[in-house]
């Protein structure tokens, strides 16, 4: 008994010193959540690294909170827990794309004061969720940028980057991960992915780990990419990713490939995305050597979708799903290829455009439904003008001219200058330490009635963070939508020939979201076969107050918005009738 008491006393004495070591980097604590001091409050850099390194007794529920407006310069790359999931998050939970908060999100960046100046980065020790922060690869000394921000200390780990701003990289944000890595980008804002002399650099991921032939997951949903120099997402030949999802994203002004896919990547879905002014860089066979491994293996132009039959493709499932995507190119870009050929760039007059949804080989494979029934590409929208975006600053004027000039110049194999960043005049870029433009100076919401319901389930195309009400409704059915997409890939869900989307199997009416609501809410329903449909709203007296749907409808999922601005607070009922069947649900308007 005395030995036990003595041991307990020794542990009790040791605990305060270890805890005190942690607390010198902590501004405040609430339960297992620690608010981390930034450079200014602590009086020095590296607090995030030092706290995480000394927090050896961190519980599984530990959360590191970074202060809005704070600067967290890292002289060493923090290593996340090897035992538990690590959570690092900024204070502001709202979407950084639409937030008008006075204080910018906390910034994690490199440290110019370190003995050897660092460029910022983080090592994933097991599982990491990082959200609501501004990530920047660089430092204030102006001596270069960083090759990649996230590195993995072992295989099979999971990374989720949610609601973050990411600007500049000399290669990609995740580069060469080990096997079986799971990577999720959600609600992020990628901007100015430039800064290196190589035309192919400046992207998000590159699956090319030495000796790695297999990855687990890449999922990119509700992210916006603006002003990009190089290839955003690289899928190297021979590296299979079990599951690839690109759903509800915006790609705006991207000089290089959105997806560099040599053709053997399967199990990939590209749905509900907006591509505007992407893949401007032309192709000719001289790049087969200059860009070895990062061009189409048959020396064809590489479109937004690219597949090629070989042994790897056949072994990996022969499936690819592309649906409900918009692709638009500004008319001013139409002479890029003629300019290259007229000037005989790289002593070549065989330049061809890569501003295409897919090349001829890929199109022939998708059209061969007998041999390749799980290659599905439909619902491409190619408008004659830009979507009516609310605010694009100079992205489609002076910055587009710079992007075009870069796309023409950089395919010359002797060229070695990066793309100019797009910055606000009040926040000019200096050296390699960058504060993101704040608030985000664009608004990619739009008013085109056809596009607002053109996505799967009747949702808007593109990044739904620009449409907060629709985003909330979409989240309520996200799992079902992803299950449908997975079903198309594995062949268990058939795709409608005319509707171009997976056909629902049941007659369903979902609970409205949000509920209670003020004054708008969204109502989702599905019908399995074409037929007459009505959706009406009634008050508690049974009186009809609104007709939301009344007509013949095709078999698919629908989202209908209801505005109760002219109604009084109270309980209402909504009834969906389909053929001889009906469903009624209750909702609450609370003003």
Residue 535's contacts (CB-CB under 8 Å, 6 or more residues apart) are: 523, 525, 547, 548, 549, 550, 560, 574, 575, 576, 577
Distances, alpha carbon 218 to alpha carbons 125, 182, 183, 269, 515, in Å: 18, 6, 5, 11, 33
Q: Give the pairing type, strands 182-186 and 443-446.
A: unpaired
Distances, alpha carbon 97 to alpha carbons 46, 116, 501, in Å: 27, 34, 29
Give residue 250's Cα distance to chain centre: 8
SS3 217: strand
Q: Are residues 376 and 253 in the same domain?
A: yes
Determine the Cα–Cα distance for residues 240 and 215; give it in Å rounded to an integer. 6
Q: Give the pairing type, strands 570-578 and 581-589.
A: antiparallel
Domain assignment present for 277: yes
Domain boundary among 406, 425, 446: 446
Q: What is the pLDDT of residue 195?
A: 85
Residue 540: burial class (beta carbons within 10 Å; 0-12, 13-18, 19+): exposed
The token duo for 257 is: 């490939």
Residue 510's contacts (CB-CB under 8 Å, 6 or more residues apart) are: 476, 477, 523, 524, 525
Q: At what angle do helices 47-54 and 2-23 cross, to 10 degrees?
A: 170
Domain boundary among 404, 428, 446: 446
Domain assignment present for 210: yes
Instruction: From 124, 184, 182, 179, select the one nearest 160 (Cα to Cα).
Output: 184
Q: How many residues does the chain have?
A: 591
Q: Are residues 435 and 524 in the same domain?
A: no
Q: In what order do the strands lie in the sheet with 85-90?
A: 26-30, 33-36, 63-66, 85-90, 127-131, 158-162, 182-186, 214-221, 240-247, 268-271, 320-323, 375-378
Domain assignment present for 495: no
Q: Are residues 259 and 393 in the same domain?
A: yes
Q: Are residues 174 and 269 in the same domain?
A: yes
Q: What is the pLDDT of residue 497?
A: 35
Q: Name residues of the chain where pLDDT drops below 50.
A: 1-21, 496-503
Q: Are residues 522 and 433 in the same domain?
A: no
Determine the Cα–Cα distance for residues 18 and 531; give it in Å rounded to an integer. 69
Q: Are residues 411 and 535 in the same domain?
A: no
Give the chain's domain count: 2
Q: What is the pLDDT of residue 492?
A: 73
Q: What is the pLDDT of residue 144?
A: 67
Residue 241's contacts (CB-CB under 8 Å, 6 or more residues apart) are: 207, 215, 216, 217, 218, 235, 265, 267, 268
Instruction: From 372, 415, 422, select the one nearest 397 (Cα to Cα).
Output: 422
Q: Are residues 155 and 286 in the same domain?
A: yes
Q: Are residues 562 and 429 in the same domain?
A: no
Q: What is the pLDDT of residue 142?
A: 64
Backbone angles phi, psi at 290, to 5 degrees: -65, -35
Q: Determine the structural domain holding residue 309 and report its residue range.
A: 147-446
Q: Give the pairing type, strands 531-538 and 570-578.
A: antiparallel
CB of 124 closer than 8 Å to CB of 159: yes
Q: Where are the beta strands (DSSP E) in 75-171?
A: 85-90, 107-110, 122-124, 127-131, 134-136, 150-152, 158-162, 165-167
Q: Are residues 413 and 554 in the same domain?
A: no
Q: What is the pLDDT of residue 493?
A: 67
Domain assignment present for 15: no
Domain assignment present for 287: yes
Q: Are residues 442 and 557 in the same domain?
A: no
Place of tokens 């890449």: 218
Domain assignment present for 115: no
Query: CA torsion angle for 279, 262, 287, 202 (degrees, to 10)?
Result: 50
Q: Are residues 196 and 324 in the same domain?
A: yes
Domain assignment present for 384: yes
Q: Where are the beta strands (DSSP E) in 119-237?
A: 122-124, 127-131, 134-136, 150-152, 158-162, 165-167, 172-175, 182-186, 189-193, 203-207, 214-221, 224-228, 233-235
Segment 92-134, tens digit of pLDDT: 999 999 999 999 999 999 998 888 888 889 999 999 999 999 9
Domain boundary among 396, 417, 446: 446
Q: Are residues 258 and 163 in the same domain?
A: yes
DSSP line for 340-396: HHHTTGGG-S--B---SSB-HHHHHHHH-TTT-TTEEEE--B--SS---EEE-TTTT
The secondary element (H helix, E strand) that includes residue 287 is helix 287-290
Q: What is the pLDDT of residue 214?
A: 87
Backbone angles phi, psi at 109, to 5 degrees: -150, -175
Q: Provide the CATH number for the domain around residue 591.
A: 2.60.40.2550
Domain assignment present for 44: no
Determine the Cα–Cα distance for residues 2 and 18; give it in Å rounded to an integer. 25
pTM listed for this prediction: 0.82
Specify the DSSP class assigned to residue 476: H
Q: Taking the CB of residue 7, how many other CB atoms lie within 10 A of it?
A: 10
Q: What is the pLDDT of residue 5?
A: 40
Specify the DSSP class assigned to residue 538: E
């Amino acid at each position: 008994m005395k030995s036990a008491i003595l041991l307990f006393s020794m542990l009790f004495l040791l605990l305060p010193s270890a805890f005190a070591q942690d607390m010198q980097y902590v501004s405040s604590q609430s339960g297992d959540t620690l608010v981390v001091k930034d450079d200014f409050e602590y009086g020095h850099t590296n607090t995030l690294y030092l706290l995480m390194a000394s927090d050896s007794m961190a519980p599984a529920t530990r959360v590191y909170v970074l202060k809005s407006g704070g600067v967290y310069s890292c002289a060493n790359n923090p290593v996340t827990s090897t035992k538990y999931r690590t959570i690092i998050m900024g204070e502001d939970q709202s979407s950084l794309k639409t937030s008008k908060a006075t204080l910018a999100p906390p910034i994690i960046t490199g440290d110019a004061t370190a003995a050897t100046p660092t460029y910022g980065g983080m090592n994933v020790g097991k599982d990491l969720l990082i959200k609501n922060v501004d990530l920047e690869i660089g430092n204030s000394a102006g001596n270069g940028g960083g090759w990649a921000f996230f590195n993995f200390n072992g295989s099979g780990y999971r990374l989720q980057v949610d609601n973050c701003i990411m600007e500049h990289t000399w290669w990609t944000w995740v580069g060469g991960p080990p096997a079986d890595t799971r990577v999720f980008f959600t609600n992020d804002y990628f901007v100015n992915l430039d800064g290196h002399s190589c035309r192919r650099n400046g992207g998000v991921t590159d699956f090319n780990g030495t000796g790695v032939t297999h990855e687990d997951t890449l999922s990119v949903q509700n992210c916006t990419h603006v002003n990009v120099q190089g290839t955003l997402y690289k899928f190297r030949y021979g590296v299979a990713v079990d599951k690839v999802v690109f759903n509800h994203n915006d790609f705006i002004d991207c000089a290089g490939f959105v997806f560099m896919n040599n053709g053997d990547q399967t199990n990939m879905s590209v749905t509900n995305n907006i591509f505007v002014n992407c893949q401007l860089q032309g192709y000719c066979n001289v790049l087969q050597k200059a860009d070895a491994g990062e061009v189409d293996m048959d020396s064809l132009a590489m479109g937004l979708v690219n597949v090629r039959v070989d042994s790897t493709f056949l072994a990996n499932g022969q499936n690819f799903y592309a649906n409900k995507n918009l692709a638009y190119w500004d008319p001013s870009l139409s002479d890029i290829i003629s300019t290259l050929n007229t000037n005989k760039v790289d002593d070549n007059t065989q330049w061809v455009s890569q501003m295409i949804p897919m090349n001829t080989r890929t199109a022939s494979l998708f059209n061969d439904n007998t041999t390749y029934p799980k290659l599905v590409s439909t619902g491409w929208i190619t408008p004659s003008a830009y979507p009516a975006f609310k605010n694009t600053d100079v992205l489609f004027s002076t910055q587009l001219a710079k992007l075009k000039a870069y796309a023409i110049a950089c395919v010359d194999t002797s060229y070695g200058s990066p793309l100019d960043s797009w910055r606000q005049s009040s926040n000019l870029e200096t050296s390699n330490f960058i504060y993101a433009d704040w608030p985000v100076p664009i608004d990619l919401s739009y008013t085109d009635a056809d596009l607002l319901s053109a996505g799967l389930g009747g949702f808007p195309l593109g990044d739904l963070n620009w449409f907060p009400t629709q985003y909330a409704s979409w989240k309520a059915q996200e799992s079902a939508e992803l299950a449908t997409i997975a079903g198309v890939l594995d062949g268990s869900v058939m795709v409608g020939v005319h509707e171009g989307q997976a056909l629902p199997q049941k007659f369903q009416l979902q609970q409205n979201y949000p509920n209670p609501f003020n004054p708008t809410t969204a109502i989702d329903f599905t019908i399995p076969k074409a037929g007459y449909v009505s959706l009406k709203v009634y008050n508690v007296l049974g009186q009809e107050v609104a007709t939301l749907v009344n007509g013949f409808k095709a078999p698919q999922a629908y989202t209908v918005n209801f505005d109760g601005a002219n109604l009084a607070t109270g309980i209402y009922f909504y009834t969906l009738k389909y053929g001889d069947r009906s469903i009624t649900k209750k909702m609450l308007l609370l003003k």
